[in-house]
């Protein structure tokens, strides 16, 4: 395998990871939209779109995507129930995304097993805080692209 072949395998793997990341962002945006509509939060499509875009920013993006809906709920309703509902929605979305959506999308798009998508970010996060979680998904995509190539599969 020459250098060009390595670049091709890595490029294809990172392309698959980027497609999976985009699909995950869209799915998270749809979950936000549905949840914000159910909670009757003003500007729900705007906040769902912002959350979908910010989903691409590791760690901070999802939290930043929460700020707009919480502030809007607080200002619009002037109670504690609606902002608390938005916080609950955020918790549900984070759990669904981290334990179901991301692993499923990575398996389907980048051929990464579900168990690896759940365990590897945790393990790398312990070994290399912040950066380990940040590089876990693209690194998994590259590792499994090489494994597929060794087995004679595509890529």
93 within 8 A of 28, measured Cβ to Cβ: yes
What's the pLDDT score for residue 154?
Answer: 55
| pTM, to two decimals | 0.88
What's the pLDDT score for residue 58?
Answer: 81
What's the pLDDT score for residue 21?
Answer: 94
Within 8 A by CB and 6+ apart from 82, the residues are 39, 40, 41, 73, 74, 76
Residue with tokens 């939060």: 41
pLDDT at residue 155 is higher than 60? no
Q: Which of 1-5, 12-16, 20-24, 56-60 has the lowest mean pLDDT?
A: 56-60
Percent of the chain with pLDDT over 70: 98
């Amino acid at each position: 395998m020459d250098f060009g072949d390595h670049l091709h395998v890595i490029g294809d793997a990172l392309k698959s990871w980027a497609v999976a990341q985009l699909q995950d962002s869209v799915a998270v945006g749809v979950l936000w939209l549905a949840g914000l509509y159910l909670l009757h939060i003003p500007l729900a499509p705007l906040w769902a779109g912002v959350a979908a875009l910010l989903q691409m920013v590791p760690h901070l993006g999802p939290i930043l995507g929460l700020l707009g809906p919480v502030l809007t709920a607080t200002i619009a309703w002037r109670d504690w129930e609606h902002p608390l509902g938005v916080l609950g929605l955020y918790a549900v979305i984070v759990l669904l995304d981290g334990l179901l959506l991301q692993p499923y999308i990575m398996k389907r798009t980048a051929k990464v097993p579900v168990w690896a998508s759940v365990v590897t970010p945790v393990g790398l996060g312990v070994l290399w805080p912040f950066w380990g979680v940040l590089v876990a998904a693209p690194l998994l995509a590259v590792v499994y692209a090489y494994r597929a190539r060794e087995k004679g599969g595509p890529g």
